[in-house]
Each structure stands twice: as C-alpha cells, then as structure tokens.
C-alpha cells in the first residue's frame, strides 16, 4: 500500500470518527432539550425572597400570547389583573401581565378570567437558586401543572410576617382603599332617603 493510500485511509477514519461523535452528541443533547419543561416553582419557597407580591382578580384575558384563550379553553398567558392587596412592594390598581415566565425552564403564568391569584415577582427557588415569578390560586382553577399551589389572602400575609389585609397598604383606587368612603357614602344616602320619606309622610298627614 502506497503512502498516499495510507494517508487517505487515515483521513476517512478520522472523518468517520467525527461523524459518529456528532451523532452521539445530538442524541445526548436531544433529551436535555425535551426535559426543559418544569418543574413549576414553589410559591411558598419563593415568597420570602420576592421583590414584589400582589393579590388580585383576573378581570380579562387576551389573545396573542403563547397561550391564547381561544385555543386553550380560556387559559391565557396575557391578562389584566385588578390589584386588591399589595403585601410587598408597590403596584398600580390594575396590571397588564404579558407572557410572564415562572422560571427559565418552565411554563408561563397562565390564568382564566375570574381567577383570584397571589402573584410574586423576582423571588428565588431551587438549589442552586433560580429567579422565579410564581402564582398561587386563591379562587378559580389553578394551572394543571405539578407543583402549582393554592393559598389564601391571610396565609400570604402570615408567611410574610405581616398584619392581615384590613391594616395593609392597598394601591390608590383599589377596593380596599375605597372601602371607607363607599361605606360612608352608602350611610349618607340611606339617611337622605329616610329623611325625604319622613318629610313626605309628614306632608300627607291631615292637619
């Protein structure tokens, strides 16, 4: 066998080894990509480190996101949240949530209209720590993912070491913030109606 044949043989063997190595690498990488589906972060684990926590009602869902309500039975990753309480941080009376990721390798926060949720932003969970955004359900149907949690308004405040909602801070214009003026207005309206009825009855009595 000539030196040229030997050299060509070596090149073919090297090429074959490279092809086998690339194929093996592709097989090894494929399951990793397929496994990038969770787990859903724990609300209770991430709550102490969250930078902002809000509790509110989903008053509208919107199309256009990865999860569209028309295609997924009312579930949506884009929604309007009417804020009721803000246990930590600050928030407007109404928030627009758009494709909020729970963690880099899990589903987004997905809700239905009418759900009441506690939603935390920029917390940490897992080991090593990963930045997460997590919802827990107070009312409605939670996401059908393993690890999704339910909670209550009182529990959220208790876990944060805060007083219950009647002494918490609510954003301007929220139902909690407007509670006292509404009650006062209703009382005044009742007194006015009663006074007018009394005056009307007095005019109808014979002298």
90-111 pLDDT, tens digit each: 999 999 999 999 999 999 999 9
Q: Quote the pLDDT of residue 66.
A: 86
Task: Give the whole-number percent of the chain exceeding pLDDT 90.
Answer: 54
203 falls in which pLDDT band (50, 70, 90)? low
48-97 pLDDT per residue, tens: 999 999 999 999 999 999 898 999 999 999 999 999 999 999 999 999 99
Asked if pLDDT for residue 28 goes beyond 80, the answer is no
pTM for the whole thing? 0.66
- C-alpha span between 119 and 101 (Å, rounded): 12
Q: Quote the pLDDT of residue 64.
A: 93
Q: Quote the pLDDT of residue 43.
A: 98
């Amino acid at each position: 066998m000539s030196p040229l044949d030997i050299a060509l043989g070596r090149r073919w063997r090297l090429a074959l080894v490279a092809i086998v190595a690339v194929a093996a690498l592709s097989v090894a990488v494929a399951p990793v990509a397929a496994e990038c589906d969770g787990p859903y972060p724990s609300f209770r684990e991430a709550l102490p480190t969250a930078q902002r926590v809000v509790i509110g009602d989903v008053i509208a869902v919107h199309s256009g996101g990865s999860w569209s309500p028309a295609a997924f039975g009312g579930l949506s990753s884009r929604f309007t949240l009417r804020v009721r309480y803000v246990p930590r941080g600050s928030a407007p009376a109404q928030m627009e949530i758009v494709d909020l990721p729970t963690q880099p390798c899990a589903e987004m926060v997905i809700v239905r209209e009418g759900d009441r949720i506690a939603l935390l932003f920029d917390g940490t969970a897992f080991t090593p720590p990963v930045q997460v955004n997590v919802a827990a359900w107070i009312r409605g149907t939670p996401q059908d993912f393993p690890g999704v949690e339910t909670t209550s308004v009182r529990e959220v405040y208790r876990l944060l070491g805060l007083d219950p909602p009647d002494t918490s801070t609510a954003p301007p214009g929220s139902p909690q913030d407007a509670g006292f003026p509404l009650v006062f207005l209703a009382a005044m309206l009742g007194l006015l109606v009663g006074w007018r009825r009394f005056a009307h009855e007095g005019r109808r009595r014979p002298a």
